[in-house]
Structure 1
Amino acid sequence: MLSARSLFQEILDSDDSYQLFCSIAASGETQGGWENGRIAALVPDSMCELAPKIIRHGADEDKHGRIFNGLLKKRGLDPVDVPPETDYTMLLERQGIGLAHDKLRQDQRLSERDIIVYLSHSRVTEQRAADQMDMLVRYFGDHPEVGRAIRQICHDEDNHLAYCHEELLRLAYAGHGRAIQRTLHECALTEITVYRDVSLAVMSHMGRLLRWPKAKSAALAAGIHAMYAYERAGGWRRMVSLKMPERRNALGGPATTAPVL
């Protein structure tokens, strides 16, 4: 029977699929670290109080990249090139979601509107990350090889999501509510499409590496399309709601180091 647990167990048991999985994850986290570092350097003076939290966010993402690379090293594997059709971060950018890398490479200060775009984009993508890590912790939190790593990342993703909620609500109270809601909706509706496409691409690569029969690949693809249909019909709304988190000032302290794997 197909399930998230059995699927990930297959990926974990094969060096080739595990290598691709960790490489994709490490690449995405490292990109996120760079983006947050540049945003922190370019934050407008009117929002300078956000800079330390953005730096902390970026440091966490860099740490996650090191964790996934560490998992590869622990098994004696090297990172592999990430197929472009599986690059979630860059595909979102190509769809106009988040701040363009060309803008972040410049030395011009960002605007308050840019920070709203950044936080809204983060609110949506961190929801996705938190949901995925919650699932992995539920099934593999006690796994001797990856358990400690995914528990650490899950904790950080929950902090990132809390930070996005709190800062967006603060900006909404300051008069940016309509802009925030509009941007959140745009991000969420685009993200669910990109996530579907990336999921299909990842499963296609995994299917070839693990030599899945056509029927199994077709069943997984059907499941991905069904999830997209659910999200398109209204599931996306969980990604745009805002509520004050229990974890207040979740990124107010120094970043923790990567665990020894």
Structure 2
Amino acid sequence: MLSAKSLFQEILDDDDAFRLFCSIAASGESQGGWENGRIAALVPRTLRDLAPKITRHGADEDKHGRIFNALLKQRGLEPVVVPYETDYTLLLERHGIGLAHDQLNRDEPLSERDIIVYLAHSRVTEQRASEQMQLLRRHFADHPALGRAVKMISRDEDNHLAYCHEELLRFARAGHGRTIQNVLRECALAEIRVYRDVSLAVMSHMGTVLRWPRAKAAVLAAGIHGMYAYERLAGWRRMVSLEAPARRDALGGPATPEAEYA
């Protein structure tokens, strides 16, 4: 029977599949760390109080990249080059979602609207990340090799999502509500398309590595298309709602000191 747990167990049990999975994850997290670092450096003077939180966000993403690389190292594996069509972060940027890299490479302060765009983009992508890590935590929290990493990253992703909700609500109270909703909707609709395409590409590569029969690959592809249809119809709305998080100031203060995962 096909299930999220059985599929990931297949990946976990095969060195080549696990290497591809961790390489894709590490690349995306490291890219997110760079983006947040640049945004923190370019925050406008009027919003400098946000810079430490953005820096903390980036530091967490960098840590996650190191964790995935450490998981590879534990098994004596080296990262592989990430196929273009599986690069979620890069493809979002190529579709105009979030702040463009050429803008972040310039030493020009961002505008208030740029920060709103960054937070809206993060609110959408952190929703996805939080849900994915909750799924892995549900099935693999007690796994001897993976459990600690899954719980650590899942906690961070939940904090990132709470931070995005809180900061966007603060901007909404300041009169930016319509802009926030427009940007959130645009980001969400683009994200679900990119996520579908990346999911199909990842499953295709995994199918080749794991030698899945054609029928199994077809069932998985149909499931991905079905999820996209649901998200295109109504599921995207969960990515654009805003509510006060249970945990306030989730990224306030310095990153929590803890031993690097190794």
Fold shared, TM-score > 0.5 on shorter chain: yes
Secondary structure at 2:144's aligned position in 1? Answer: coil
Structure 1: which 4+ aligned runs deviate by more than 2 Å?
Answer: 256-261
Q: Compute the displacement of 1:253 (Å).
A: 2.1
Residue identity matched to 1:32 = G
Q: Deviations for 1:41-89, whole angstroms, at most 9, x for unmatched residues?
A: 0000111100000000000000000000000000000110000000001
Distance 1:43 1:106 in 2: 12
The 10-residue stretch of structure 1 (247-256 or 134-143) with the greater mean CA deviation from structure 2: 247-256
Distance 1:65 1:149 in 2: 11
Secondary structure at 2:217's aligned position in 1? Answer: helix
| Residue 67 to residue 42, structure 1, CA distance change in 2 (3 Å) | same
The percent identity for this pair of structures is 76
Which residues in structure 2 correspond to 1:101-116 (within 5 Å)? 101-116=101-116
8 Å Cα contact 1:63/1:258 also seen in 2: no
Distance 2:143 2:253 in 1: 29
Q: Give the total of aligned pairs.
A: 261
Distance 1:126 1:248 in 2: 16
Partner of 1:252: 252
Residue identity matched to 1:120 = A
TM-score, normalization by structure 2 = 0.99
Which residues in structure 2 correspond to 1:134-145 (within 5 Å)? 134-145=134-145
Distance 1:135 1:154 in 2: 9
Residue identity matched to 2:228 = Y
Residue identity matched to 1:207 = G
Q: Compute the displacement of 1:254 (Å).
A: 1.5
Partner of 2:186: 186
Q: Which runs of 5+ in 1 are unaligned?
A: none
TM-score, normalization by structure 1 = 0.99
Residue identity matched to 1:73 = K
| Residue 129 to residue 211, structure 1, CA distance change in 2 (3 Å) | same
8 Å Cα contact 1:169/1:243 also seen in 2: yes
Distance 2:242 2:223 in 1: 28
Which residues in structure 2 correspond to 1:116-127 (within 5 Å)? 116-127=116-127
1:45 aligned onto 2:45? yes
Q: Compute the displacement of 1:258 (Å).
A: 5.4
Distance 1:128 1:104 in 2: 23
Q: Compute the displacement of 1:259 (Å).
A: 3.8
Partner of 2:198: 198
Residue identity matched to 1:220 = L
